[in-house]
Amino acid sequence: MIDFRYHLVSIVAVFLALAVGIVLGTTLLQEPAVKSAQEMTAALTKTKEELRGQIDTLQGREAANDALLTSMTPDIVAGDLAGQSVLLIETPGSSTTIREAAQQVLGEAGAEISGRVTLTEKFLDPKGAGVLDGLVNQLKPANMVFAETATAWDRAATLLSAALVTTDSSQVGTPNAATTEVLSAFETGGLLTLDGDPGKRATLTVVLAPEKPYEGENAETQAGAIASMADGFDVGGNGTVLAGGPAALTAVPGDPIGHTRDDSDIAKRVTTVDSADMPMGRVVIVQSLQEQLAGRSGHYGVGIGASSPMPAVTSATPTPTSESGS
């Protein structure tokens, strides 16, 4: 008679056999699986090393190209902006390194830097738009008229450009009657700071965009304010270039260069350069100012919205006109 002990031993034997089978099966399968994983890891490591080597090679070539172009830049741009005076406008978040490099190349091109205006965060703050508008209305001459759709920054740009740039070559290097009062009021109000003697009016303007797009709920408004400033100075002088870098590869609401390129009206007048962080881009700034003097504009660089890396080369030498860069 089969008793309970028999059943118990049978059950134990079954589970023991199952356990042995699992162990044996796992052991037999484990070695190929481990080997496959090791081979895959080795292949991925090799691919990574190859890609790293390619990146290092490309970076080395880029550095060599940049060094060569930097050494050749003085000869490339020599005399291109002779007789011109350039105002620099720095925006919140713009790069001092880019500004210094651009200023050097402008000097090598023969341009004189009239001075530098640095806009503050307060200038771009939408909450202070009413105060900015009130200040403009207080300071503007009686004959200065604004479009009904003009924003506070459009109006400020018109007023400041009248004080800082001119289309009249005979007025270059001289302040207009209201320059001191206008600049003093804006500086006292914490809206901008001055360096050099920007009150001695220039013919051309380079606006330096922030290194990174503005962020937050006011980003698009701030980018639009910078675009308005560039446009106002273009209309008030012989041309404006809005320059910055690194280039944005996707559309971002807080990118002033992208905002300018997307505004069909402003884009017809103001030139943009998104490669100012590279030696090539600094040469393009000079070429773009020449193009502005000839009454043309364009959008150059490597980012979204750029039509080409640089302006088309022309044989004719542009001469200043009484018109803007539009």
Question: Domain residues of the chain, as ranges?
Answer: 1-77, 82-300
Q: How many CB atoms are located within 10 Å of the residue 179 CB?
A: 18
Which residues in the chain show pLDDT less than 70? 1-34, 314-326
Contacts 24+ apart (CB under 8 A), 103-108: 105/73, 105/77, 105/282, 105/283, 105/285, 105/286, 106/81, 106/206, 106/285, 106/286, 108/73, 108/74, 108/77, 108/78
Give the 3-state secondary structure of residue 86.
Answer: strand
Any alpha helices (H) in the chain, and if so which ranges? 4-77, 96-108, 121-124, 129-139, 152-164, 179-188, 219-236, 256-262, 264-267, 279-293
Pairwise CA distance, residues 129 & 124, whole Å: 8
Query: DSSP character for 128?
Result: G
| Greatest Cα-to-Cα distance within the chain, rounded to the nearest angstrom | 126
pLDDT per residue as tens digits for the range 105-128: 999 999 999 999 999 999 999 999
Please state whether the predicted TM-score (pTM) of the whole model is above 0.85. Answer: no
CA-based nearest residue to 206, from 181, 190, 229, 183: 229
pLDDT score at 322: 47
Let me know: does 116 contact 195? Beta carbons within 8 Å: yes
Query: 82-300: what fold?
Result: Rossmann fold (3.40.50)
CA dihedral 276, 277, 280, 286 (to 10 degrees): 30
Question: Per DSSP, what are the bridge partners of residue 242?
Answer: 207, 272
Pairwise CA distance, residues 211 & 175, whole Å: 31
Specify the DSSP element, H or E, that contains 114: strand 112-119
pLDDT per residue as tens digits for the range 15-55: 555 665 665 556 555 666 667 777 777 777 878 777 787 87
pLDDT score at 53: 79
pLDDT score at 84: 97
Query: DSSP character for 88?
Result: E
pLDDT score at 61: 78
